[in-house]
Amino acid sequence: MNDLKIKDVIEIPAVKPNLVVKVGEINSEQKRQTHVRDYVITDSIAKELESLVKSIADSAQSGFEGLGIWVDGSFGSGKSHFSTFLGMLLTNDQAAWEKDHFVIQGLADYRAILEKYPVFVLPVNALDVPDSLKRNIFTAVNKQLELLGHETVELSSAKQIIQTFEENAESEKAFWNLLFNRSLTVASKEEYNEAKENDPDSLALEIREHVFRGVQRAMDLYEDPENREEKSLNI
């Protein structure tokens, strides 16, 4: 009987690599180096990395005309690993660009383009703030700006938005109905007061999206010559 064991054939690392990566979690020098070291670039991954780095660099150089990319794969297939490593290349991460792989070494000219025309990479996980994509992106922007050593930004005029809403809601009760009927997070005055106290930025986003834009759409319809016979605003 052969007593050969798996460990005698395959070298098993003493430390188990991180098999699950959440976008945005690779946010320290040690984590980045570990991710680069453990990331296996297969032939198909190398092909996609090369294509995307070239496309995004060309887009940046030409003035950011826009480039949409959809990364598709089942759970655990490596979408977050791939996106994280791609993001590191796009932000000129030294560890990523020094990884020993012929495709990365062959992208030196595109690295120079990305150095001249920097790309702001924004890691956003949809599950962080599942009820508000805009709030999720706003939070992620500030988190990334802070990580890069820049000043964070404030949501434009949150207090002004809330004040304007309340002034109009005093005479137009429909404003309350618009907010409560359309918002996923504010369905009563109790929830409104709680949001106003604890998270005014999110509340301002809800008001702007579900009330002000709703009113604007109704006004546009009202002022359309083809609809002027309708004198009531259906908001």
Asked if 203 and 155 touch (Cβ cutoff 8 Å), the reply is no
How far apart are the C-alpha atoms of 91 and 107, rounded to whole Å?
14
pLDDT at 5: 80
Tens digits of residue pLDDT in 63-103: 776 667 787 888 878 788 888 888 889 888 888 898 888 98
pLDDT at 192: 92
Q: What is the 8-class DSSP label of residue 211?
A: I
- The alpha-helical segments, DSSP class H, found in 62-157 are 79-90, 94-97, 102-105, 108-116, 133-147
Query: 75-103 burial, b if ≥16 CB within 10 A, otherwise e?
Result: eeebebbbbbbbbbbbeebeebbebeeeb
pLDDT at 235: 36
Q: What is the pTM of this model?
A: 0.57
Strand, coil or helix: 128:
coil
